Structure 1
Amino acid sequence: MKKSVITLAALAMLAGCSLAPVYERPAQPVAQAWPAGEAYKGVPAAAADAKPVSQILWREYFADDKLRKVIELALANNRDLRVSVLNIEKAKAQYNIDTAALLPKLSANVNQSASRTPSNMTGTGNAAINRQYNGGLVMSSYELDFFGKVRNQSEAGLQSYLGTEEARRTQQITLVSEVANAYLTLIADQQRLKLAQETLKSQQTSYDLSQKRFASGVVAGTDMYDAQTTLESARNDAAVYTAQVALDQNALTLLVGSAVPEELLPAGDLAEVTQLAAIPAGLPSDLLQSRPDVQEAERSLRAANANIGVARAAFFPSISLTASGGSASSTLSGLFKAGSSAWTFAPAINLPIFDGGVNRANLNIAKAQRDISVAQYEKTVQTAFREVTDALATRGTLDERLSSQQALVDAAQKSYTINEARYRKGADSYLNALVSQRALYAAQQGLITTRLAKSSNAVTLYKVLGGGWQPELPQPRG
């Protein structure tokens, strides 16, 4: 028995070979620095000691207290994020199953076997009953991992498990950015609704004035009808944005996963809720490695690399061991007495000779999957690089766009004020006032859109640069 145990231990120590290729991270198929050009001139240079965005936690990044509380609600209640967390638990359990194959499985059992011999088959002429009792430890079919098959299966399971962790990080970063953008969009549509209502009120006054002048014969009917067109247009916009604000609230509720308390709904200005932390620009392209989706793609590549080792190991012999040790006796009372010890040791070797090309096909599949994973990893890096450069290009021009849009609003306001005053004094027709009023309304709408674009761009940069995240989740409320 001692010799068998020593032999088993020696064979287990010899099991250390791996046929998986040595993993090397593919070279990044993107430039080593962010692009430069006219579109990027407005991007401020990062300070030497600037904290990477991937290390800026979202609670530090979003300064508005209401928005932070809404994000906390979403992290606690969003169903997509909850599925991601459960997928981690599932992958962890699967990894535990894969890892368990590295160790022998032991079980303890006690059993009885009984047989009856009929009287016509015994020498005594009496029927005989024979009983045997066995008890001890059993190790069933433990495969010695000489060629790394089991360990590579475990490695593939580990990388899949870690990949679900990265998927969860991606889901959380995406959720935070989606909630922030939905919150900002709701504010912008509230402002559009307010603008439409103010325009409706102003145009109602102008329309009432033109009606009186038309009734008095001071102006032609065209002035009255021109005033009515702007009035009805403003009325239509007010109805459209009333519905849009409700739709925005519904979208925010879906993201949060529960009703958003009234006190947390926005009721202010875009400038009041987007005092976001400064974002370092000019970061090297290797920052993309901090993005969880890039890391998830690399985990898939590592798993595919390990599966090649599993496929290669199928070409070599496999050795499995079955053993048991304990006691045996013809009576239950004598099962564990001295002299009743018993053991069995049954090693088995399986040498593949002909399988019709199955092992070769499995190896080709594993290699093809590895090549697919390489291409997917490179595409993920390229996509990440493109998303960052797009966001930086937008950021570099937003200040100029916002400045010009504000100047356009100021000029349109002055033009409308002058033309409206001239019309009220009877010095001009309503046509000039109508044209300038429409120009002012369009400019004001454009200003709201540009402010939203600037705020949303800051949120997008948080997401595409792999914004920091907290591993803990608040407890669900209610």
Structure 2
Amino acid sequence: MATFAISRYPRIAALAGAACALAACSFGPSGEPPAMPQPAHYGAQAQPTQTASAQGVTQQFVVGAKPVPEWWKLYRSDALNALVDEGLRNSPTLAATDKSLAAAREQLRAQIGSSMLPTIDAGGQVTRNRALAIPEIGSNTFLYNIFVGQLQAHYTLDLFGAARLADTALAARVNVQAYQFDAARRALAANIVSAAITSAALRAQIDTTERLVTLANDQARDTQRRYVLGAVSHADQLSAQQSAASLSASLPGLKQQWLTTRHALAVLLGRTPDAAPDDLDLAQLRVPEQVPVVVPSELLRTRPDIQAADAALKAAAAEVGVATAQMFPSISLSASMGQGGFSWPVALSGAGAIWSIGASLSQPLFHGGALFAQRRAAMDTYDATVSQYKQTVLAAFQNVADTLAALEHDAQALEAANSAARSAQGVFEETSGRYRLGAVPVASTRSSEQQFRNAQLDEIRYTSARLTDTAALFQAMGNPPVEGGTGTAAAASNAGTATRNAQ
């Protein structure tokens, strides 16, 4: 470790600083995301411009539109809006994620302050000492006091960018958390919407199934009476009982799904399960007629998960630079000034002034291969992060492709189910009218109503699927791109800018 006066060599120091600054630029990868394919359309088949018409609604795919921030309001349900607002406001999970992000930002500020700026500390010391006797001088021991007070300053020159790159890496990690918070917030909204729709659909299915159970039990009792009278066979009587029992057996599972969904919705809202909200009216929910379809190239800027993967890539690149910079020399400057003496009067006088100034240079020579291994590990981590970024983008493309296809197929299935339900309802109404005129027996009316209720069940399921898959597509589109860096993750990015400015 060498100590010398830097001020004697200003030209050498300037040249060394410039050379080191240039060297730092090539210490690691750039951190730019790899080029990804830009498909003409998301799925294996070209996406249509609109879905089939179902229940009188045709959904339009607006290609090139920006994502909708509060997309759940397009369902035009005040009750649903209130649930989402409550969840975003009261969710403990979201609050914990928010506080973790705030803590990460403060840690970044702390690291930037400690690495980019000098440290100055004040210290004071009062000691009483006993020295051993020196035979040549005398046999008495010496007792004396020492009074010292001083200011100490220390600063490490970041010649090779190790501190700057470490701050950049941490800033990128904070960005990862910021984008994850954005993703968590949107996922919470989507989960609340899906849970509320599913709960409403299950409640409607339960009501319809209970009516089917009542009809099946009536049919079983009627068949039992007819069997006693010898009008039907024993097999017919057993078949009617079996149908009624099978329908009754399906109800407990359906109710369990409904209660589980309600409990999950309550927790998403920050409530206890016993305070689960009332079910929405499924018939009052309006499927959004226009849904945005972000082009693949723009999706890289709107999906928080892709943005988080991009930030992780930049962090890994900076960490390669840190591992490289640690192999180069480190120069530290230190200075102190204060007062000291063997008594208070001396310590406070001009004779007690003490000061020091110096510099130290440290160059790693042999660390058992640890530094090279750390750099290779950082490079391998960076390569893994590149692959993870690619996989995240491909998964996002698949997510959008799946939801687009689901909406088209939901509309087709719902239109068929709606047509079947209308036809079954017409048959039931006509049969009921004929029964009131005495033209058909009650069994015919009961059978036609059973067909109508079963068709209703299918329509409820496909209605629920269309509503929830629409929510999934809005979620898949991500956040609107923020121009000028004012979004949630921008605060972390601003901290990264502060790192560069401090340099």
Give me the TM-score of the superposition, normalised by structure 1. Answer: 0.84
- Cα distance, 1:282–1:319 mapped onto 2, change above 3 Å: closer
Say whether residues 1:162 and 2:175 are aligned partners.
yes
Task: Show structure 1 runs of 5+ residues with no match.
Answer: 472-478
Deviation of 1:257 after TM superposition, in Å, equals 2.9
One-letter amino acid of the counterpart of residue 115, structure 1: N
Q: Structure 2: give runs of 5+ residues left out of the alignment.
A: 52-59, 482-486, 489-503
**d(CA) in 2 for partners of 1:300, 1:417:** 63
**SS in structure 1 opposite 2:355?**
strand
Distance apart, 1:417 and its partner CA:
6.4
State the alpha-carbon separation in 1 of the partners of residues 178 and 294 from structure 2.
29
- Mapped contact 2:197–2:280 kept (Cα < 8 A): no
Deviates more, 1:209-218 or 1:345-354: 209-218
Distance 1:334 1:65 in 2: 80
**2:145 — aligned with what?**
131
CA–CA distance in structure 1, aligned partners of residues 473 and 235 of structure 2: 51
Deviation for aligned residue 1:273: 2.8
Partner of 2:164 in structure 1? 151
The answer on whether the counterparts of 1:30 and 1:381 sit within 8 Å (CA) in structure 2 is no
1:20 aligned to 22, 28, 49, which one? 28
Residues 32 and 313 of structure 2 are in contact (CA less than 8 Å); yes or no, is this contact kept in structure 1? no
2:116 paired with 1:102: yes
Q: Distance in 2 between matches of 1:332 and 1:383?
A: 73
Counterparts of residues 452-471 of structure 1 (less than 5 Å): 452-467=464-479
1:319 maps to 331
Amino acid at match of 2:301: Q
Within-5 A mapping of 1:60-459: 60-99=73-112, 100-117=114-131, 121=135, 123=137, 127-140=141-154, 142-259=155-272, 264-269=277-282, 271-276=283-288, 278-281=290-293, 283-414=295-426, 439-459=451-471
Cα 1:358/1:67, change in 2 over 3 Å: same
In 2, the alpha carbon distance for the partners of 1:130 and 1:66 equals 81
Distance 1:61 1:297, change over 3 A: farther
Report how many aligned residue pairs link the two structures.
463
What letter is aligned with 2:31? Y
Structure 2 CA distance, aligned partners of 1:7 and 1:448?
85
Question: What letter is aligned with 1:160?
Answer: R
- Letter of the aligned partner of 2:459 in structure 1? L
- What is the match of residue 50 of structure 2? 42
CA deviations over 1:16-75 (Å, ceiling 9, x no partner): 452333332321244254448466353524287x5x11x422564453222222223322
User: Residues 245 and 22 (structure 1 numbering): CA distance in 2 closer, same or farther, change over 3 Å?
Assistant: closer
Q: 1:374 to 1:47 in 2, by over 3 A?
A: closer
Could you tell me how far 1:197 is from its partner in structure 2? Answer: 1.6
Give the share of equivalent positions with the same residue, in percent: 23
Give the drift of 1:203. 3.3
Secondary structure of the structure 2 residue equivalent to 1:40: coil
The alignment yields a C-alpha RMSD, in angstroms, of 3.6
Q: Check the 8 A contact 2:199/2:262 in 1, yes or no.
A: yes
CA apart distance, 1:371? 0.8
Q: TM-score, normalised by structure 2?
A: 0.80
How far did 1:351 drift? 1.6
| Residues 356, 244 of structure 1: alpha-carbon distance in 2 compared, 3 angstrom cutoff | closer
8 Å Cα contact 1:230/1:434 also seen in 2: no
The aligned amino acid for 2:175 is L
Whether the 8 Å CA contact 2:265–2:276 is kept in 1: the answer is no
What secondary structure sits across from 1:203 in the alignment?
helix
Out of 199-208 and 103-112, give the one that drifted further.
199-208
